[in-house]
Amino acid sequence: MANKDLLFKRINNALLDMQASTSQTFEQHFVIFARLLADSSLQSVNQRLVANLDVERFLDESSKTQGSMVGSARLVWPADADQVLGLKWLLIQKFACNPNQLLGFAHTYYTVGRNLTGEFHSLTRQLLIPFGRDYKEYVMTVDNPDGENSGTLASGGEGQRAIHQITYNISGNNARVNNHSTDNSHNVVSVNPDAVELLSALRGEISRMGLPLAQEQEASELLDSAEAQIQSGKPSKPVLSALLKALPHAANVAAIVSSILSLF
């Protein structure tokens, strides 16, 4: 999904759906939210965001804050705001792969008593909505670090001024641009052929499952994002794992996913 405006509209819609959900429907909207955050158009941003972060270590350190009273546990967030954002992204992807663990997490760190729906809503208000807001700002900043609006012309007493900045969007394993220069360097990108072959086999297994059209489309988008990770030559294993483990569950699918992840 290349249109980020549409993407963030869908992300916001998922947040609204979670706010209005019950304990029986929350998981469905949460998984959609997580998949949107792992969209292929966000690949490079997500790789940068989660680099060198260990969500399991973070959860282990946080669990040590649990006292004898319910509600005493605290998440041990780092001081760096970008690291906080990256850990939240990883948490969302982790629980999207294991939704059965989500309620326990909400009860431990966002408890409101014994009201299951209330705890999911507390998680949404305190973690997911702030994350959605900050994540969008982070993405927009990375995409446009100078804060310039490349689609408009400035106007005023000085009249209109043309914008002398051109952005080149380049994709592919070995893409580059030389502007008024000679480049004798060699770009080397190593793509694991075994991973490519296994991913093709995974597509075949998904197509044979006879999924409803909407689920098959979601699975296809996840596989496209996973393929983009692999073709980059330097895939982020947490991102790749989150994408593949969000696929529909089946024995053959799980076996191929395990084989792919073992290569990185």
Identify whether 210 is part of a domain.
yes
Q: How many domains does the chain have?
A: 2
Q: What is the mean pLDDT of residues 183-211?
A: 75
Q: What is the mean pLDDT of residues 177-181?
A: 47
Phi, psi of 125 (to 5 degrees): -70, -40
Range scoring the smallest mean pLDDT among 64-73, 160-169, 197-206: 160-169
Q: What is the mean pLDDT of residues 158-183?
A: 44
Residue type, 35: R
Identify whether 149 is part of a domain.
no
Same domain, 115 and 11: yes
pLDDT in tens, 209-260: 888 887 888 888 888 888 888 877 777 788 888 888 888 888 888 888 888 8
Identify whether 12 is part of a domain.
yes
Identify whether 62 is part of a domain.
yes
Q: How confident is the model at residue 113 (pLDDT cuts 50, 70, 90)?
A: low
Indicate the average pLDDT of the chain. 80
* Predicted pLDDT at 195: 84
Residue of 166 and 12 predicted with greater confidence = 12
Res. 153: pLDDT tops 80? no
Q: What percentage of the chain carries pLDDT values higher than 70?
A: 80
Task: Note the maximum CA span of the chain.
Answer: 68
Range scoring the smallest mean pLDDT among 41-45, 79-83, 192-196: 192-196
Same domain, 119 and 203: no
Same domain, 122 and 234: no
Q: Which of 124, 143, 162 is the last residue of a domain?
A: 143
Identify whether 205 is part of a domain.
yes
Q: What is the mean pLDDT of residues 58-68?
A: 89
Same domain, 12 and 101: yes
Q: What is the mean pLDDT of residues 164-190?
A: 47
pTM of the model: 0.58
Res. 190: pLDDT tops 80? no
pLDDT in tens, 85-108: 999 999 999 999 988 888 889 888
Res. 180: pLDDT tops 60? no
Determine the structural domain holding residue 55 and report its residue range: 4-143
Q: How confident is the model at residue 164 (pLDDT cuts 50, 70, 90)?
A: very low
* Predicted pLDDT at 216: 82
Identify whether 186 is part of a domain.
no
Identify whether 137 is part of a domain.
yes
Identify whether 150 is part of a domain.
no
* Predicted pLDDT at 161: 37
Same domain, 25 and 101: yes
Q: How confident is the model at residue 177 (pLDDT cuts 50, 70, 90)?
A: very low
* Predicted pLDDT at 212: 85
